[in-house]
Amino acid sequence: MIRTFQQHSLRHTRLLDGLWDFITDPGNVGITEQWHAKFPSDSRKLVVPSCWNNELGYYDYIGAAWYRTYFDTVQEANIGLCFEGILHHADVYVDGHHLGYHFGGYTQFSKVIPHLAQGKHELIIRVDSTLDWQTLPTDIADWYSYGGIIRSVELQELPDVYIESLKIDYQLEGDTADIQLQVKLNSLSSVDGQIVVSASTEGLAFSDSTVHIAAGQSSRLSLRGSLENIRKWDVGQPELYTFMVKAGEDDLIDRTGFRTIEVNNGQIHLNGKALYLQGVNRHEEHPEWGFAFPPKLMLKDLDILTDMGCNIVRGSHYPQSQFWIDLLDEHGLLLWSEIPMWGCFMSKETLASPLFAERGLQMLDEMISRDYHHPSIIFWGAHNEIDTRTDEALELTKKFVSKIRSMDTSRLVTYATMHPEEDIVLSYFDVIGINKYYGWYQGNVNGFRDMLQQYYKNAESQGASDKPIIMSEFGAAGIFGDAGWEPRLFSEDYQADIVQQALQIFREDPRIVGTLIWHFADIRVDVRSDRPYFRDRARSFNNKGLLNEYRKPKLAYRLVKEIYRSKR
């Protein structure tokens, strides 16, 4: 996988990234014998990872496509295939056998093939980027509907008993950490066996444990240890600890940081100190790469966020790549991570759909399991702008929030509301995110003041007055280069004015604990000629970026930098 550190030193891994055969299948013909034989002659090459919509002729292609590559095994081996992100439906075939299906473009999944014979093997993936009213996101969202294998594909050679997962938990008492490791092992062997598991981190070796594992079964064990004088992870103080687990011939390396997060007196406390959050929303998108955002550009985005004086970024509106989150861990920046539940135009039928809920719960599961150890993640976001005045939203909220809390009690749970004045789900969350666009969709920028008063009344009536508030979205569009003497709509000047005035209002309000400007950089938007949505998006971009899509700063960027770097 593409991480900033090595995850295995014993297990052999290799990326299958590179040039793959590619063919679209608009008629959903499928992989019949005949069609399969035709694959090479009709197909073209495509780089994995990438989005096909960034290639000539495929700009607006939404539908099914087939990808093919080959890999060799020098001897019979257990093979694990790990897919970091495929938009959105994926069917995996090895040597013509269907290994399984996965839905969800922004979280990873794996398939294991025990005892694969020595030789050359064919890996085919059917990818379908079609969205509908029961998918996450649905077919209406304010970002481009890209398709493809957007993140890396990795092949792993697994020993007969391998480590499936590692979960690191800890309790802090002063500067002592009481640590529990939970290790899950899987056997692909036809005989029972015993295996020695050892684990360590800087300054602590856990006692070895001998585990009996039955043929073809899995086994869990937990290891405990205590570490004194720990260095805490904090904003701008990225203290990380690397954990190494060895089980027989296999190993797994992961990292975490020790810190506490809690809400106290309407404030968010990190390591016992009140935090004021200053940041932006960021889509992991670029006009040339779509969602297959390359590591080199991530480093640049990180430098820009740091230059601006941000201490947090919202991963709008889906789980972002692990490489990005590793970078945030390493630089002491915080992250709000959420699933792609974008509800601005969402129907009640969608909110009430069991399939939709099931997909959302699975995504929460995959996001939290994948990213549990990242100290940068402070919030799990349950949804964005669904109609939180309705019973359907309330029921879904209960399911999502209890799922999150059942998996993780060490972080805060939040969401972004566009109906703060009438919202009925406030009490389920630790922190309330408010999305409002006074000065853009909603009249004068001073409207924020009234809206906040109404929100406070609503919060009081629901017993939620003590919940910290983050202004999770606000902003205005400004076309890069359109600057002048007067702040006309869509000019850089207008955008800068709105953002500056809004920040001033929010920074004076003691109940607001943070601001996340919409948006970091301009993003491509799905403006299809046959649909009524997003018709105000000039250039087919959401132009509310503080930077343009190529990361050139607008006037608003310079003002925000000045404000974020000044004392409140």
Closest separation in Å from C-beta 566 to ligand ADA: 26
Number of residues that bind ligand ADA (CB under 6 A): 10
Q: Angle, nearest 10°, between helix axes 447-461 and 492-508?
A: 40
> Distance between CA atoms of 41 and 114, rounded to whole angstroms?
32
If binding is defined by CB under 6 A, does position 544 make contact with ligand ADA? yes
Pattern of binders to ligand ADA over 425-444, x per CB under 6 A? ----------x---------
Q: Which one, 11 or 282, has the nearer CB to ligand ADA?
A: 282
Closest separation in Å from C-beta 434 to ligand ADA: 10
> Distance between CA atoms of 69 and 88, rounded to whole angstroms?
19
> Distance between CA atoms of 167 and 370, rounded to whole angstroms?
10
Q: Are 231 and 256 in contact (CB under 8 A)?
A: no
Closest separation in Å from C-beta 208 to ligand ADA: 50
Structure tokens at 193: 């066996």
Closest separation in Å from C-beta 474 to ligand ADA: 9
Closest separation in Å from C-beta 418 to ligand ADA: 6
Cα(first)–Cα(last) distance of the chain, in Å? 41
Q: Which one, 255 or 317, has the nearer CB to ligand ADA?
A: 317
Query: Is the Cα dihedral 244, 326, 403, 350 positive or negative?
Result: negative
Q: Which one, 435 or 458, has the nearer CB to ligand ADA?
A: 435
Q: Which one, 254 or 423, has the nearer CB to ligand ADA?
A: 423
If binding is defined by CB under 6 A, does position 542 make contact with ligand ADA? yes
Contacts of 450 (CB under 8 A, 6+ apart): none
Q: Restricting to residues 31-70, which ones interact with ligand ADA according to CB under 6 A? A: none
Pattern of binders to ligand ADA over 329-358, x per CB under 6 A? ---------------x--------------
Q: Are 1 and 322 in contact (CB under 8 A)?
A: yes
Taking the CA atoms of the chain, what radius of gyration do you get in angstroms?
Answer: 24
Structure tokens at 416: 């972004």
Q: Are 390 and 425 in contact (CB under 8 A)?
A: no
Q: Restricting to residues 88-127, which ones interact with ligand ADA according to CB under 6 A? A: none
Structure tokens at 537: 């998006």
If binding is defined by CB under 6 A, does position 473 make contact with ligand ADA? yes
Q: Which one, 31 or 344, has the nearer CB to ligand ADA?
A: 344
Q: Are 371 and 335 in contact (CB under 8 A)?
A: no
Q: Which H helix or E strand runs over 80? A: strand 77-83
> Distance between CA atoms of 443 and 543, rounded to whole angstroms?
18
Q: Which one, 189 or 281, has the nearer CB to ligand ADA?
A: 281
Closest separation in Å from C-beta 301 to ligand ADA: 18
Comparing every residue's Cβ against ligand ADA, the nearest one is 142
If binding is defined by CB under 6 A, does position 156 make contact with ligand ADA? no
Question: What number of other Cβ atoms are within 10 A of residue 78's Cβ?
Answer: 20
Maximum distance among all alpha carbons in the chain? Answer: 79
Pattern of binders to ligand ADA over 380-399, x per CB under 6 A? ----xx--------------
If binding is defined by CB under 6 A, does position 495 make contact with ligand ADA? no
Q: Restricting to residues 509-528, which ones interact with ligand ADA according to CB under 6 A? A: 518
Q: Are 66 and 23 in contact (CB under 8 A)?
A: yes
Among 142, 329, 423, 522, binds ligand ADA (CB under 6 A): 142
Binding site for ligand ADA (CB under 6 A): 142, 317, 344, 384-385, 435, 473, 518, 542, 544
